[in-house]
Chain A
């Protein structure tokens, strides 16, 4: 589902974080359920909430679990942290201890997403776009200058042999980087589990726009991959993330393919269902 979340000037960090929490855990299923700080007249929710994937495991620390969308044997965890004015960090973790509310094998990423007031007359109206699907959770805020999310990964030789490797990644599409907090590195004598980071795989030729027999625009979408030198560049497919033609769409614009919306990011598109 795609939520175009718009806010009034009286939005507080409490209403902002409460709305995000309710959207992720599925307790808010329509615009009417959002807080008083939300500009409901200009907020839209389209698509279907992915039931049974996201669970709030700790309310006060904003910690959630996510089951892998295609390999239900993998569950990982994430936590959103706020200060008095913004969402400050997004932490992805391999595992979690509920008794002490402690993330295990985790890396925190600075995101700094601020609430901001919607004004429809602006060229790029302010707000926060959120994609929630069984395979990804994505946030995009032009005002805060960031698009980031949690994406399921496909299988490869690393995950089939070293099953403790996580099958989800934090990906920041603003600059095309990723991090997997707990992954197996093939480094000779230094081989073992650690965190891996790198760039989305960009060595292949990017797709281009084309037209079909009736002259309609065809947006060619290629799969997106991540790979790290410390794993010998074994490539993981990234679920719900597509490489689209260079500079094809303004960030946060939406287009449809076969009736399913895509939210455009920096040369990538996120499938919203």
Chain B
């Protein structure tokens, strides 16, 4: 997933996106498993985040600014993405009419 695709999916509100790189638990409770590990990493159970699987990868989206220093969570991108730099304006030099020409 490129950063552009992630912004397309998650929108342009200020947020952070992480990839979950830790162990998956058996069964279908990956959201709970990953959220609890994210809460551990954030140091509080009062976290707010969304866990979603895209093309086999689990992403964690949060609008809050937690200090995550846990190898299970790899920081991907801050949203919104910076706007691309505007191209330099093209300067068209006017031709000065040469003297003597009518």
Judging by beta carbons under 8 Å apart, are B52 and A192 in contact?
A: yes
Is B64 engaged at the interface, CB distance under 8 Å to the other chain? yes
CA A91 to CA B6, docked complex, whole Å: 23
* Across-interface contacts of B50 in A (CB, < 8 A): 105-107, 181-182, 193-195
Q: Which residues A174-225 have CB closer than 8 A to chain B?
A: 181-182, 185, 187, 189-197
Q: Which residues A78-102 have CB closer than 8 A to chain B?
A: 79, 81, 91, 93, 95, 97, 100-102
* Across-interface contacts of B51 in A (CB, < 8 A): 104-105
| Size bracket of the A interface | 20 to 34
Q: With A190-B1, A230-B11 given, is the CB distance from A108 to B48 under 8 Å?
A: yes
Q: Is the interface of B mostly helix, strand, loop or mixed?
A: mixed
CA A108 to CA B65, docked complex, whole Å: 12
Q: Contact string, B27-56, partner A, CB cutoff 8 A, digits 1/0?
A: 000011001100100000111111111100
Q: How far is the CB of B78 from the nearest CB of chain A, in Å?
A: 16
CA A192 to CA B55, docked complex, whole Å: 9
- Most B CB within 10 A of own CB, among A79, A103, A189, A194: A194
Q: With A185-B9, A194-B61 given, is the CB distance from A61 to B31 under 8 Å?
A: no
**How many chain B residues touch A (Cβ–Cβ < 8 Å)?**
26
- Contact pick for B52, options A93, A193, A197, CB 8 Å: A193
- Contact pick for A102, options B5, B6, B45, B63, CB 8 Å: B45
Judging by beta carbons under 8 Å apart, are B11 and A195 in contact?
A: yes
Judging by beta carbons under 8 Å apart, are A105 and B63 in contact?
A: no
Judging by beta carbons under 8 Å apart, are A107 and B45 in contact?
A: no
Judging by beta carbons under 8 Å apart, are B31 and A230 in contact?
A: no
- Residue numbers of B with Cβ under 8 A of A are 1, 5-6, 8-11, 13, 31-32, 35-36, 39, 45-54, 61, 63-64
- Residue numbers of A with Cβ under 8 A of B are 61, 79, 81, 91, 93, 95, 97, 100-108, 181-182, 185, 187, 189-197, 230
Q: A187-B8, A189-B5 are in contact. List 6 more A-B contacts (CB 8 A).
A: A93-B48, A95-B31, A97-B32, A103-B48, A104-B32, A195-B11
20 A-B contacts, Cβ less than 8 Å apart?
A95-B32, A100-B36, A100-B39, A101-B45, A102-B36, A104-B32, A105-B31, A107-B50, A108-B48, A181-B50, A187-B9, A189-B5, A190-B1, A190-B5, A190-B54, A191-B9, A194-B10, A195-B11, A195-B61, A197-B11
